[in-house]
Structure 1
Amino acid sequence: MSTFNRILLCYDGTREGQHALKDGACLAEELHAQVHVLSVLNHSAWVQGADVMSAVPVDVINDSAKDLLQEGLKKLAARGIQATGHFAVGDPLEQIPFFANDLKVDLIVVGHRRTSRLARWWAGRSDGLLLDRVSCSVLVTMGPEVAADPAIAGASDNVGTAPPVEHS
Structure 2
Amino acid sequence: MYKRILLAFDGSVEGRTALREGALLAKSCGAQVHLLSVVSETGGMAIGEGAFAGAVALHQDRYREVLEEGAARLRAMGFNPTAELVVGDPAQAIGEAARRVGADLVVVGHRRQSLLARWWAGSTGAYLVDSVDCSVLIARTVISDELFERSADVVS
Question: Could you tell me the TM-score, scaled by structure 2's length?
Answer: 0.84
2:154 aligns with none
The answer for unaligned runs of 5 or more in structure 1 is 154-168
What are the superposed Cα offsets for residues 3-36 of structure 1, whole Å, 9 maximum, x if unpaired? 2100000000000000000001100110010100
The answer for unaligned runs of 5 or more in structure 2 is 150-156
**1-structure distance, mates of 2:147, 2:70:** 10
1:12 aligns with 10
Alpha-carbon distance change, 102 to 115 in structure 1, aligned in 2, over 3 angstroms: same
Alignment of 1:1-168 (within 5 A): 3-44=1-42, 47-54=43-50, 55-57=52-54, 58-121=56-119, 123-125=120-122, 128-144=126-142, 147-150=143-146
1:163 aligns with none
Tell me which amino acid in the other structure corresponds to 1:125. Answer: G
- Once the two structures are TM-superposed, the CA of residue 150 in structure 1 deviates from its matched residue by 4.5
- Once the two structures are TM-superposed, the CA of residue 81 in structure 1 deviates from its matched residue by 2.1
What are the superposed Cα offsets for residues 122-148 of structure 1, whole Å, 9 maximum, x if unpaired? x3426652101110000101123xx40
Tell me which amino acid in the other structure corresponds to 1:35. Answer: V
2:152 aligns with none
- Once the two structures are TM-superposed, the CA of residue 65 in structure 1 deviates from its matched residue by 1.3
Question: Could you tell me the TM-score, scaled by structure 1's length?
Answer: 0.78
**1-structure distance, mates of 2:14, 2:38:** 14
Alpha-carbon distance change, 62 to 124 in structure 1, aligned in 2, over 3 angstroms: closer
Q: How many residues align?
A: 146
Greater per-residue helix proportion: 2
Q: Is the 8 A contact 1:108 1:137 kept in 2?
A: yes
**2-structure distance, mates of 1:61, 1:117:** 28
Alpha-carbon distance change, 48 to 60 in structure 1, aligned in 2, over 3 angstroms: closer
What are the superposed Cα offsets for residues 50-102 of structure 1, whole Å, 9 maximum, x if unpaired? 43343150322222211111011011122222211011100011111101001
